[in-house]
């Protein structure tokens, strides 16, 4: 069967607005996907729904369609997006109304069944991660636009691929290939040079969005439209493949993909072939993301300038102590951004950040702001803050739980109103860790030089609930021989002291010349709780790359 060309036009709710038009007009496509959902997005949409029961979907998607629905119809491109969020039926209705107003005849379908909020009292939103076969049913029935709620990000690709190639639920290798392609596409321009460790390798001022050429056997080529910015090479694809994953088994509702089997090869300029992917039966359970309101938080950042930084910080902490005894949680962080004999006042200043949390808004609102501002003339010399503290804002807590595959009633709601039940996976396998794979021979002893790890290795990091993952890969076989034996869990903890007392698991992936580290609990209760300075661990990998190690001179 002919190659299926699937593009991506959104990696998150708020991504580049013009991307939908750029992808539709920049080259040939069969399907255009958009990923609008993340753990934090579901909380935001949940709060929207509290204010308006008819809300709960990504409004940006509708505005994009207003400009581009006609173009998609003219070019025969089907659109599949999870922009339905908490209300896919509502979004499908809005899309039909938009099409009628524009005079465009389109068939709009949606997938539902992921909403389990009623079964989890106290949750603002509780949604199961569905697979791609609901999307496939909609497309097989002729839908031009399919909107979903909480499906896995890769399902936006596996659904269209299953519909196009006629794959069934047990075509595991093929489905796994589509999962890997979908995972590479899901974050948009992160596959084309965005957020890339070696960004200087190309022009990434405005990277184009990625697309995948999928084949019937599950292999794919990752590329982008001609003439668009950024670049696609084995490194950019490796970085995205490691993003927000854990071990060699990458589990989903339809299939468990074996990441240790993936082979990446450069297939020409801006073309990377993905092959060798193996698939296994999916686990018997589905992940359910629970979003709850955790209470209220507030923060104030004190600016400490010039001399005696540590003493100034100690003074203001002591002055704030009486009021902080009344809050449930208070956390101080001193960022020594100052330097001696600085040429500007800003570079002579350090930042002392106080974050407070409590179930009661007043406790973190007036009490904090009053105590902080009253110090304006009564504290350390040069007292000022970046901004006055506000009245306290609600924060969220994310938790994942698991339910059996059969506990969720997934339904494809077709454009003509028919409701087609989507059966859960019948053959399943409990997810188990794989044995440690063989590593290459270590490098022979040689002269060493103290230098940043990032000179010989790339990294990309991200969040999964309260955990973070840091994928680290070598660019050459020789660098991999050194990395595989040197960057142990103990060394990782030494380099990143914030992980010193946390559970850290290392997963080697020799075929990718990569190590994937999972750091449990470093993000507290998830991104919405803003537990740390970098709440989504986006820069954790770059911090690791900046740390110095004894590196063989031959690698530098």
How far apart CA 397 and CA 348 sit, in angstroms, is 36
pLDDT, tens digit only, all 556 positions of the chain: 799 999 999 999 999 999 999 999 999 999 999 999 988 899 889 988 889 999 999 999 999 999 999 999 999 999 999 999 999 999 999 999 999 999 999 999 999 999 999 999 989 999 999 999 999 999 999 999 999 999 999 999 999 999 999 999 999 999 999 999 999 999 999 999 999 999 999 999 999 999 999 999 999 999 999 999 999 999 999 999 999 998 899 999 999 999 999 999 999 999 999 999 999 999 999 999 999 888 999 999 999 999 999 999 999 999 999 989 889 999 999 999 999 999 999 999 999 999 999 999 988 987 788 889 999 999 999 999 998 888 888 888 888 999 999 999 999 999 999 999 999 999 999 999 899 999 999 999 999 999 999 999 999 999 888 899 999 999 999 999 999 999 999 999 999 999 999 999 999 999 999 999 999 999 887 777 777 788 899 999 999 999 999 999 999 9
Q: Are 423 and 530 in contact (CB under 8 A)?
A: no
Which of 303, 250, 292, 493 has its CA nearest to residue 394?
292
In this predicted structure, what is the pLDDT of residue 163? Answer: 98
In this prediction the pTM is 0.93
What single string gives the DSSP state of each residue in 317-336? Answer: HHHHHHHHTTSSEEEEEEE-
Tokens at 73, concatenated? 């119809």
Q: Which residues pair with 229 in a beta bridge?
A: 207
For the chain, how many residues are written? 556
| Long-range contact pairs involving 457-460 (C-beta distance under 8 Å, separation at least 24) | 457/483, 457/487, 457/545, 458/196, 458/197, 458/198, 458/235, 458/238, 458/239, 458/545, 459/197, 459/541, 459/542, 459/544, 459/545, 460/190, 460/195, 460/196, 460/197, 460/239, 460/240, 460/242, 460/243, 460/541
78-81 and 31-34 strand pairing: parallel
How far apart CA 379 and CA 462 sit, in angstroms, is 39
Q: Which residues pair with 213 in a beta bridge?
A: 5, 221
């Amino acid at each position: 069967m002919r190659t299926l060309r699937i593009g991506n036009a959104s990696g998150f709710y708020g991504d580049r607005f013009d991307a939908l038009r750029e992808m539709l007009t920049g080259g040939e496509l069969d399907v255009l996907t958009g990923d609008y959902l993340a753990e934090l997005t579901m909380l935001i949409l949940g709060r929207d729904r509290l204010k308006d029961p008819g809300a709960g979907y990504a409004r940006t998607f509708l505005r994009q369609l207003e400009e581009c629905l006609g173009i998609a119809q003219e070019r025969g491109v089907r659109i599949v997006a999870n922009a339905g969020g908490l209300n896919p039926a509502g979004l499908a209705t809005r899309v039909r109304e938009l099409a009628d107003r524009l005079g465009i005849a389109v068939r709009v379908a949606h997938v539902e069944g992921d909403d389990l909020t009623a079964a989890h009292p106290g949750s603002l939103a509780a949604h199961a991660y569905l697979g791609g076969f609901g999307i496939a049913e909609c497309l097989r029935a002729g839908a031009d636009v399919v909107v979903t709620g909480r499906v896995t990000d890769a399902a936006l690709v596996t659904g269209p691929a299953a519909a196009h190639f006629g794959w069934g639920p047990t075509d595991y290798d093929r489905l796994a290939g589509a999962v890997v392609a979908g995972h590479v596409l899901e974050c948009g321009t992160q596959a084309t040079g965005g957020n890339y460790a070696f960004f200087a390798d190309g022009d990434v001022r405005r990277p184009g969005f990625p697309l995948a050429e999928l084949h019937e056997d599950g292999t794919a080529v990752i590329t982008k439209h001609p003439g668009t910015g950024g670049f696609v090479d084995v490194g950019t694809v490796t970085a995205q493949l490691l993003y927000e994953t854990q071990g060699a088994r990458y589990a989903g509702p339809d299939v468990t993909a074996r990441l240790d089997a993936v082979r990446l090869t450069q297939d020409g300029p801006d073309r990377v072939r993905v092959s060798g992917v193996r698939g296994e039966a999916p686990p018997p359970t589905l992940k359910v993301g629970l979003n709850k309101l955790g209470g209220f938080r507030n923060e104030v950042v004190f600016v400490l300038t010039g001399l005696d930084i540590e003493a100034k910080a100690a003074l203001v902490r002591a002055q704030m102590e009486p009021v902080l005894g009344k809050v449930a949680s208070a956390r101080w962080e001193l960022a020594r951004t100052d330097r001696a004999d600085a040429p500007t006042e800003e570079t002579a200043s350090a930042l002392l950040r106080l974050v407070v949390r409590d179930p009661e808004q007043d406790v973190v609102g007036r009490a904090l702001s009053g105590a902080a501002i009253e110090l304006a003339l009564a504290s350390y010399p040069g007292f000022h803050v970046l901004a006055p503290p506000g009245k306290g804002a609600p924060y969220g807590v994310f938790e994942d739980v698991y339910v059996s595959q059969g506990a969720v009633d997934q339904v494809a709601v077709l454009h003509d109103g028919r409701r087609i039940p989507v059966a859960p996976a019948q053959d399943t396998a409990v997810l188990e860790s794989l044995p440690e794979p063989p590593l290459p021979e270590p490098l022979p002893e040689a002269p060493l030089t103290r230098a940043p790890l990032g000179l010989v290795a790339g990294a990309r990091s991200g969040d999964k609930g309260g955990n973070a993952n840091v994928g680290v890969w070598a660019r050459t076989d020789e660098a991999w021989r050194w990395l595989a034996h040197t960057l142990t869990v103990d060394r990782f903890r030494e380099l990143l002291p914030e992980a010193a007392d946390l559970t850290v698991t290392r997963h080697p992936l020799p075929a990718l010349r990569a190590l994937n580290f999972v750091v449990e609990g470093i993000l507290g209760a998830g991104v919405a709780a803003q537990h740390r300075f970098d709440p989504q661990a986006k820069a954790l990998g770059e911090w690791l790359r900046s740390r110095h190690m004894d590196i063989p001179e031959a690698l530098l």
